[in-house]
Structure 1
Amino acid sequence: MKLIAALGLTLAAAPAWAQASPVPVQTINGTVLEITAEGQSKRVPDLATISAGVVTQAPDAASAMRENATRMDRVIAALKRAGIADKDLRTASISLQPQYRYGENQPPVITGYQASNTVTVKFRDIAQSGSVLDALVATGANQINGPDLGLDDPAAAMDEARLDAMAKARARAELYARAAGLKVKRILSISESGSEMPRPVPILMRAQGMVADSAQSKILPGEQSLTVNLSVQFELE
C-alpha cells in the first residue's frame, strides 16, 4: 500500500511541461483564398534506358538455353567493352517456352523451344548509345526496345519546378488581393499533388532478326519538362 501511495504522489507531482496540452487552433479573421498553380522546369535528358535481349530457338529445351546463354555472354561482353558499368546492367527476364504446331482436330505437338534473356541497360552517355546498340546487334542481340529517356538525378529539377509553382501562386494571390482591395497576410497551407516526371519516349525499336545497317542508330535526347502542382491557401486582410 505504501508503494502505491508513493507512485500516486510521484504522478501528481509531475511537472507541467510533461503533461499533454491541446494544440491551439489558429483563428482566421480574414478572407481565405485558395490558388492552384503549376510549376515547370526543363532539362535535357542525361540518361537513356533500353532493354536488350537474345531470343533463340532449338529442337530441345537444353539446346535453346545453351545457345541463348552463349549469345547473351557475347552481348554482355560487348556492353562492358563499351564502358557500361556493372551497376547499369540488370537482368530483366529469362524465359523458356515450348513452340507448338496445331492441326485441325489434333492435339498440339511441341516442335521446339524458344529461350529468351533480356537485360536492362542504362546509358549515361546518350551520344554514344547509338553506336553501342549497333554493336549489340552485331554480337547477337535480336531484341532491342526503348529508350526511356530521363534524368539521373531529377531532385534539383523538381525543386526548381516547386519554386516556380510557389512563385506563380504567390503572384496570383497578390493579384487577387489588390483587385479586392486587400493584401496577403499569410499562407495557411501548402499541398503538392500531381508531380510529374517525363514519360518514356519510345523512339527506337529493333525487332528479332534485324541486323545493323551501315548507318549508325541515333538517340536524340531533346528536352523534357518536369511539372509540380501546388494548392496554396492564403489569408487576405
Structure 2
Amino acid sequence: MRTRTFVLCTALMVLVAACVWSASAAVAPNTTDERLIHASGTGEVTTTPDRAVISFGVETKDTDPKAAQAANSQAMNKVINAIKAAGIASEDLKTTGYNIWAEEPDNDKPFRSKAVIYHVTNTLQVTLKDVDRAGEIIDIAVANDVNRVNGLYFTLSPEKEQTLRADALTQAVTHARADADAVATAAGVTITGTKEITIGGTYVPYYERSFNAPMAMDAGARMPTPIEVGEAKVTASVSVSYLCA
C-alpha cells in the first residue's frame, strides 16, 4: 500500500513539474537586445508673410430698424464696390458677421432720447495677396463709409506654409542626427539605422498689427496709413530613435 502511494505521489510531482516547465516556456518573452540613442531636434525658418487679412465693419443706427438696415446696406455696398475697383477679387471678400440690436433708452437720465435706437453692423473680411497694399486698402475702405476697423493680421498662404514646414522639418531632423552622432562618438558606438521618427508640432504664427481708425481717415489729406509687415518664423520639431552597434 505504501509502495503504491509513493509511486502515485512521484507521478503527480513529475506531472506538476512538467506543467510548470511548459507554462514557463509559453510565457517567456522573445526579446531582442536593441541599442538605441534617442534624440530630438527643432528647425526654424524665417520668412516674410505673404497674406494680410483685414476686418472692416459698417455700423449704422436709427430709431427705425428698416432705415438703419437700408443705410447699412448702402454703405457696405459702397465699400465692397470700392475695394473691388481697387483690384481685389470677389473670392477674397467674405462677410463674417451681421448683427441688429436695440439700444434701450435710459429713462433715468434727463435730456436723453426716449426712443429705442437700432444698431446694424455688417463685418467684411478682406484677404490681400499683396501685403504691401494693406494700408492702401484700409484708406480706401474708410474713405468709402467704413467706420469700424476691427483688426489686421499677417500670415502665410497654404503653399508657402507647406514649403516652409518641409524646410523646418528637414532642419529638425538634421539637428537631431547631429546630436545623435555626437553622443555615439562619445559613447564609442556607431549609428546603424533609424528605428522611429515622431513629428512634433509645427508652429505657423500670424502677426497682428493694430492702429487707430482715425489714422486711415487722414487719407483725404494724402497721408496713407503706415503698415509694417515684419517677419514670421515657422518652427517644427521631431524625436528620433537611432539604432546603434
**TM class by smaller structure:** 0.7 to 0.9
Percent identical pairs in the alignment equals: 28
Give the 5 Å matches for 1:24-43.
29-43=33-47
Deviation, 1:110, is 5.7
The one-letter amino acid paired with 1:169 is: A
CA, structure 1 residues 202+210, in 2 after alignment: closer, same or farther (shift >3 Å)?
A: closer
Report the equivalent of 2:116: 111
Which residue among 172, 177, 183 is the counterpart of 2:184? Answer: 177
Unaligned runs of 5+ in 2: 1-29, 109-113
Is 1:95 aligned to 2:61, yes or no?
no
Report the equivalent of 2:138: 133
Report the equivalent of 2:25: none
Whole-angstrom distance in 1 between the partners of 2:212 and 2:43: 33
Give a deviation string over 1:34-92, Cα, whole Å, max 9, x none: 21211111111111001011011111111111000000000001110111101100110
Alpha-carbon contact 2:58-2:123 (below 8 Å) kept: yes
Report which of the two has the higher share of helix. Answer: 2
- Extract structure 1 runs of 4+ deviating beyond 4 A: none
Which residue among 194, 207, 222 is the counterpart of 1:187? Answer: 194
Give the 5 Å matches for 1:51-62.
51-62=55-66
Is 1:231 aligned to 2:245, yes or no?
no
Which residue among 218, 224, 227 is the counterpart of 1:212? Answer: 218
CA, structure 1 residues 112+142, in 2 after alignment: closer, same or farther (shift >3 Å)?
A: same
SS of residue paired to 1:149: strand
Report the equivalent of 1:196: 203
Alpha-carbon contact 1:52-1:118 (below 8 Å) kept: yes
SS of residue paired to 1:220: coil
Report the equivalent of 1:79: 83
Alpha-carbon contact 2:139-2:216 (below 8 Å) kept: no
Alpha-carbon contact 2:216-2:225 (below 8 Å) kept: no
Is 1:48 aligned to 2:62, yes or no?
no
Give a deviation string over 1:124-169, Cα, whole Å, max 9, x none: 1121221121111011001113322111121101100010001001
Whole-angstrom distance in 2 between the partners of 1:220 and 1:99: 38
Alpha-carbon contact 1:33-1:236 (below 8 Å) kept: yes
Deviation, 1:212, is 3.3
TM-score when scaled to structure 1?
Answer: 0.81
Whole-angstrom distance in 2 between the partners of 1:27 and 1:39: 35
The one-letter amino acid paired with 1:131 is: E
SS of residue paired to 1:127: helix
**Structure with larger Rg:** 2
TM-score when scaled to structure 2?
Answer: 0.79
Alpha-carbon contact 2:38-2:241 (below 8 Å) kept: yes
Is 1:160 aligned to 2:167, yes or no?
yes
Alpha-carbon contact 1:68-1:117 (below 8 Å) kept: yes
CA RMSD of aligned residues (A): 2.2
Deviation, 1:28, is 5.1
Whole-angstrom distance in 2 between the partners of 1:71 and 1:135: 13
